[in-house]
Amino acid sequence: MKLYKKTYLPLIVLLFFGIQAWSQDNRSFKVFQFPANKIPTIDGNAEDWKIVPDSYVVGMNELWEDSGKQTKADSKNLDVRVKVAWVKGLNRLYFLYEAYDDYWDFSLPGLHNDTFELIVDADQSGGPLIERFHPNKSLVNTMDGYFSFQGVHAQNYHIFTPAEGKDWTLVWGSQPWIKELPYANAATNYNFKPGESGKMTLEFWITPFDYAGNTPDRAVESLLEENKNIGLCWAIIDYDDVNNEKNNGFWNLSKEHTMYGNASYSLPFKLMPLEAEFKKAIDAKWIFNTVDINRRMVAFIDKSVGEIQSWNWDFGDGITSSEQNPIHQYKEAGKYIVVLNVAGPKGTSRMSKIWDVAIK
């Protein structure tokens, strides 16, 4: 008994607290915002991504090999860099995946393929996302669970790197339509053969969904908004021998191996505002809502950017306002040219919209 207490008890305590500490992950990452006039072309060329600062790169230093097959990252064996981006106004996530591998394994037609496995949970709803982890035990590993549960609230893209003679990704679930246009697009660039070493560039975008069933008719896209956190996670599965069914490494961004099937283990990625170099010092912007169509009342909402001290609205019917967010009642039906002029310490700006505001 004494031997048990002295030898095993500290080990048990250490193991317990080690698991507790390991499960707590306070890391967060950033998603770069591309300006609307610099949206990357999906062609496998990383040139468009040079404007993304290195502070957005997620590299091997953020990954851990959780299968015990590798003790530490070795750039001569595998070296990976990932950048994530978005464009304001589009519910798309853009990815640049650049990887060097000393042995690219992609000659077989099935799952045995070097892989970039991506988990997307844009509304951070968390929870299991594949039928193997279904909370209703009677639906675990059943086709009912597959069609009604897997990939519905969060998505898993099992991306083949590279995909030669096969589709670019397997979608874990009954919604393979999400990997096709108009919901996704991908391109790769590489010049090596199976078994050789070299660098591969994978460029793609996807559409995240709050709900994605086996048909797109009832799907609900996730809304991407500035400064919002979304849930993302990925793993790199590295095969080094076509004759060995087992992989040579499972490099995980999460500290929980089963992140591939549970969105609760994803990490927060913040949808960042534009970097300062892409912002105008002052830029007039506005939107409108018809709040009472019978009384011809329209609410105008200022969305201008920069330090603004004054607003001047011309509603197109001879009436003006200096309020930031005015509500205006039109007396007559018609199509109107509405103009907003803003001014501040760094200049002036105007935004005119021709006939957007049309009143019956």
175-231, pLDDT tens digit by residue? 999 999 999 999 999 999 999 999 999 999 999 999 999 999 999 999 999 999 999
Question: Tokens for 338?
Answer: 């509405």
- The domain limits of the chain are 27-271, 280-359
Distance CA 95, CA 44 (A): 11
Which residue is associated with the tokens 């300006």?
35
Is residue 147 scored above 60 in pLDDT?
A: yes
169-190, pLDDT tens digit by residue? 999 999 999 999 999 999 999 9
pLDDT of residue 245: 87
pLDDT of residue 24: 60
Give, as one character, the DSSP assignment of residue 6: H
Distance CA 214, CA 147 (A): 7
Is residue 15 scored above 90 in pLDDT?
A: no
Which position has the higher pLDDT, 22 or 284? 284
- Same CATH fold, 280-359 and 27-271? yes
pLDDT of residue 25: 86
Q: Minimal CA–CA distance to 234: which of 66, 70, 33?
A: 66
Question: 199 - beta bridge partners?
Answer: 100
The Cβ of residue 32 has, within 10 Å, a number of other Cβ atoms equal to: 22
Question: Which SS3 state, helix, strand or coil, does residue 257 take?
Answer: helix
User: Does domain 280-359 bear CATH number 2.60.40.10?
Assistant: yes
Distance CA 62, CA 305 (A): 35
Q: Are strands 184-189 and 169-171 parallel, antiparallel or unpaired?
A: unpaired
Question: Tokens for 184?
Answer: 């996704």
The Cβ of residue 69 has, within 10 Å, a number of other Cβ atoms equal to: 13
273: amino acid identity, one letter: P
Cα 188 to Cα 59, 78, 138: the distances in Å are 19, 18, 41
What CATH number was assigned to the domain covering residues 27-271? 2.60.40.1190
Is residue 23 scored above 70 in pLDDT?
A: no
Consecutive H or E run containing 96:
strand 93-101
pLDDT of residue 58: 98
Is residue 276 scored above 50 in pLDDT?
A: yes
45-98, pLDDT tens digit by residue? 999 999 999 999 999 999 999 888 998 999 999 999 999 999 999 999 999 999
198 CB-contact burial (10 Å; exposed 0-12 / middle 13-18 / buried 19+):
middle
Question: Tokens for 96?
Answer: 């640049």
Question: Tokens for 121?
Answer: 């949970």
Picking from 20-29, 148-157, 176-185, which range would have the lowest pLDDT averaged per residue? 20-29
